[in-house]
Structure 1
């Protein structure tokens, strides 16, 4: 099944596996765009309801069940939900899993590379086989550097969107989440890193574009 999928994607991209991964990623993100718009809308609703949520916590902080009911009712009036923002991330999980299966398949990406860097190898294997001063390692390093830049920009955006009424743990942990993709790319094959780079870059651009548009 994996070999058939890879053959189809590569065939649609003219025999270039790296281009096929990029096109596959863009197709997935375009498919999930409605959920991204919904996530942006829910973020604006959360910001707008922040003062009222603070009031509810003061009134019902010692009654978690009542607080949960009042919170759900408050969001329902806005046509949203406290959990609406997590849908895009959950929707991506099957595609991330599929790309992981492709990237770690023993034969699917055999013989395919990105400017000389094997798509099916991890950065440690590339360094051991080609050396630290080589084109394949430089390609992998460039992907990681670009991911670090995207993660830093995304972290700033996330930090700016957090409100004071949110739990302190969330306000500390949420800005670090974008760096999770960078850590994953450092241990996964280049194919998975390329997918994560394009996907996270899309996310950053999508947030920036939707932040200035009426929803």
Structure 2
């Protein structure tokens, strides 16, 4: 039976499952037809594939962080050139080139993983239906068909099975699968996201935190038990892998990064510039005592210089205050005006009134009667 260009992957995946089944059956003495032998074989095969894909996972993390870091600049370019699509595209490509990333960099590892997971899903689906695939055929296929996990056959699904026990087992596995997916995404959002930058990328991740578990739960009712084992193992591996990344290499600016810096500072493994003092074997071994002492002395020098720079302005300010106080004491006080002094304007006003009175002018406060026209003055007798 041919499977097109995925045929080599189907063969490789089925071969790995058979090898682990032989290991658990012959070495660990599990029942060859039992669910534990086949279930652990599926889980072990998932672990092997995920270990091989660790370099791609690391590359995906770096690409995702780079895209997250340039989100504010991308938004600014979109706002600035919202009416010029061509100029906007040119500026975006220039930004990607400067940052050394692009949107496809974070998606490329997922695309590379897709054929492996598709082949794995295809093998499990064919085995669950009793069809030959790869190196699983004949007695091995019959053995896989007899395998049960907690009373549920590997080929059983929540929808197709009418037994209550099978529905309970599949429902529990679906819940665990969705819950592990939610926990993995939530710990990424709450611990390993730069809180100093608010971008649409964060909103998308927050939305996916709820969308993916619901989507897995809806699709899970049609998954065979063997496929549920695969997805559950994958999610648990992703959750553990994410915890390791958050603990050892968190995103700068996140809560996990702050906690890591505090741990390194307490352990004396933090340089003054904020970088970690790593040991041999790519940091797997603890750093030497000499390196820690050197970093501690450098930190002490930096701390002393900072303390001195803070104290120097205070001393200068105190000296300036003393100098200013002495100058204020020696300065002459301004003369106070006499209480009986009369302003010039107020003294000039009475003098003007006296002059006007001597000249026979009208008294202040009296009103002159206008003379009638044509009237002669009376003669004195």
Normalised-by-shorter TM-score class: 0.7 to 0.9
In structure 1, what is the equivalent of residue 71 of structure 2?
50
> 1:12 offset after TM fit, Å?
4.0
Cα shift readout 1:29-85 (whole Å, capped 9, x = no counterpart):
111111111121122212322222222112222333333332233233233222222
8 Å CA contact 1:155–1:178 kept in 2: the answer is: no
In structure 1, what is the equivalent of residue 232 of structure 2?
197
> 1:26 offset after TM fit, Å?
0.7
In structure 1, what is the equivalent of residue 100 of structure 2?
79
In structure 1, what is the equivalent of residue 200 of structure 2?
166
User: Measured at CA, do residues 152 and 214 of structure 1 come closer, stay the same or move farther in structure 2, by a change above 3 Å?
Assistant: closer
User: Measured at CA, do residues 64 and 172 of structure 1 come closer, stay the same or move farther in structure 2, by a change above 3 Å?
Assistant: farther
8 Å CA contact 1:53–1:165 kept in 2: the answer is: no
8 Å CA contact 2:21–2:41 kept in 1: the answer is: yes
User: Measured at CA, do residues 82 and 182 of structure 1 come closer, stay the same or move farther in structure 2, by a change above 3 Å?
Assistant: same
In structure 1, what is the equivalent of residue 242 of structure 2?
207
In structure 2, what is the equivalent of residue 185 of structure 1?
220
* Structural mapping, 1:72-111, within 5 Å: 72-105=93-126, 106-107=129-130, 108=141, 109-111=144-146
Higher share of residues assigned helix: 1
Match of residue 22, structure 2, among 5, 8, 11: 11
User: Measured at CA, do residues 82 and 148 of structure 1 come closer, stay the same or move farther in structure 2, by a change above 3 Å?
Assistant: same
1:26 and 1:81 map into 2 onto residues whose CA distance is 29
User: Measured at CA, do residues 211 and 49 of structure 1 come closer, stay the same or move farther in structure 2, by a change above 3 Å?
Assistant: farther
Match of residue 140, structure 1, among 126, 150, 170: 170
> 1:173 offset after TM fit, Å?
4.7
1:193 and 1:165 map into 2 onto residues whose CA distance is 35
8 Å CA contact 1:152–1:179 kept in 2: the answer is: no
User: Measured at CA, do residues 78 and 30 of structure 1 come closer, stay the same or move farther in structure 2, by a change above 3 Å?
Assistant: same
TM-score, normalization by structure 2: 0.48
SS of equivalent residue, structure 2 residue 102:
coil
User: Measured at CA, do residues 90 and 58 of structure 1 come closer, stay the same or move farther in structure 2, by a change above 3 Å?
Assistant: same
Larger radius of gyration: 2
> 1:159 offset after TM fit, Å?
5.0
1:22 and 1:209 map into 2 onto residues whose CA distance is 20
User: Measured at CA, do residues 157 and 46 of structure 1 come closer, stay the same or move farther in structure 2, by a change above 3 Å?
Assistant: farther
Number of residue equivalences:
210
> 1:22 offset after TM fit, Å?
0.2
Cα shift readout 1:162-206 (whole Å, capped 9, x = no counterpart):
974437994675331344333332211111111111112222332
8 Å CA contact 2:18–2:41 kept in 1: the answer is: no
Query: In the alignment, is residue 60 of structure 1 matched against residue 81 of structure 2?
Result: yes
Higher relative contact order (CA 8 A, sep 6+): 1
Task: Name structure 1 gaps, 5 residues minimum.
Answer: none
2:222 and 2:43 map into 1 onto residues whose CA distance is 20
In structure 2, what is the equivalent of residue 151 of structure 1?
181
> 1:122 offset after TM fit, Å?
0.8
SS of equivalent residue, structure 2 residue 248:
coil
CA-atom RMSD in angstroms:
2.9
